[in-house]
Amino acid sequence: MEQTDAPIRRPKKRLLRKILLIALTLTALAITVGATFVGTYRPAYRPAPEVTIQPTAERVERGRYLVENVTGCMQCHTDRDWTLYGGPAKRSSWLGGGESLTPEQGFPGTLRLPNLTSDDETGLGRWSDGEILRALREGVDRHGRALFPMMPYHVYRHLSDQDATAIVAYLRTLAPIENPQPATNVAFPVSFFIKTIPQPLDAPVESLDSADTVRQGELLAKVGGCEFCHTPRNERMEPLPGMAFAGGHELEGAFGKVHSANLTPHATGLGGRSRDEFIGIFKAFAGDGGSAIDVEPQDNTPMPWSDFARMTEDDLGAIYDYLQTVAPVENSVDSGRPLVDSGRPLVDSRRPLVDSGRPLVDSGRPLVDSGRLPSTRSTPVDRLAEARASNVDPVAGSQ
């Protein structure tokens, strides 16, 4: 019996071994090919445009306005002063690079927030104008490396050629700041996925018709980061469907933990606020940039009030016009900022704020004497006015 069985079993074993060997070889091959693909995969990019941007006064001024008051490059590329309300960027190190993100902060690797001044060694000194333009809207550095998409190039790609050129012209005027920073080193697999994001521009980006305030506002809300911060997202930073501008997005950092406000036209959002009132909320920060408000860094807000305060009324108005067209979403958000909600429930905010008949814009009279009926919801403007009028610590005073 043994003898007849044996010849039958042996070929079976051999066959199994053969299959196993083939399977192993195929797996090894797949891993090698896959690893080579992943390792050598290059992001899509085109040669940097060959342009020399003339720094005309008008162009530099337009670029300065966009950077300082709209696109907020310094919110990431400069250290911010969290002892001041809204954390304005420090003038002393203007665009000289922000503090790197590290694994200790939960980041997958080390991320440098680059120095954008014209320093040769540590800034953009050796970059051509075209290379900076390409990085800004198409997301690769001068060697074709994909930029980590925290740099919102996928949003800036909507900037017209005229505006993008103006931004580069302005950056070129910055005095060099020498600031050696650690190299960026993003861990796998994130390092692979980010390579799939850059997309070259294949046509000129025209400027929008300035009479179309809704479209202008849509663009401003994108490049100003309003849409990013005010739309709730999942852990992969993808916007939640049907929740555009509905607020509640959690942001955590040196400023503490906050939730962004609902900016949709729903009563739990901008509600009955008029265009003038909306503009007024921002303009209230124009004078002293909110420095009247004493704030502990951990009770601060990433909402860059003092930068946006100097946005033109036309641009702020355009953002309002656009926000009026987005779907109203019911979402009562407690921003977590006593400066904004005073710890009072925001659910009672359905009452229109148009009770005083005067615009919220600081008309030279102290805002606190406006005779406005006490509202169930205090805005940053209220807090600012109270602080200016009474020197009371607004955080302690809000209990």
d(CA 77, CA 136): 13
Residue with Cβ nearer ligand HEC (360 or 388): 360
Q: How far is CA 121 from CA 115, 194, 293, in A?
A: 10, 26, 39
The single-letter code of the amino acid at 157 is R
Of 45, 148, 245, 322, the one binding ligand HEC by CB under 6 A: 148
Least Å distance between CB 56 and ligand HEC?
A: 18
Of 89, 219, 258, 385, the one binding ligand HEC by CB under 6 A: 258
Q: Quick check: 81 and 297 in contact, CB under 8 A?
A: no
Residue with Cβ nearer ligand HEC (73 or 219): 73
Site size for ligand HEC (CB under 6 A):
46
Of 44, 251, 267, 368, the one binding ligand HEC by CB under 6 A: 251
d(CA 323, CA 220): 11
Give Cα 324 distance to the centre of its chain: 22
- The tokens describing 51, both together, are 């342009």
Least Å distance between CB 343 and ligand HEC?
A: 13
Q: Quick check: 250 and 302 in contact, CB under 8 A?
A: no
The single-letter code of the amino acid at 15 is L
| x-marked contacts with ligand HEC along 101-140 as a string, rule CB under 6 A | ----------xxxx-x---------------x--xx----
**Residue 253's beta-bridge partner residues?**
256
d(CA 224, CA 86): 15
Please give the residues from 44 up to 103 whose contact with ligand HEC meets the rule CB under 6 A: 67, 71-73, 75-77
Give Cα 366 distance to the centre of its chain: 33
Confirm or reject binding of residue 380 to ligand HEC (CB under 6 A).
Answer: yes
Residues at the contact surface with ligand HEC, assessed by CB under 6 A: 67, 71-73, 75-77, 111-114, 116, 132, 135-136, 141, 147-148, 150-152, 156, 167, 184, 221, 224-226, 229-230, 251, 258, 260-261, 263, 281, 301-303, 308, 319, 335, 337, 340, 379-380
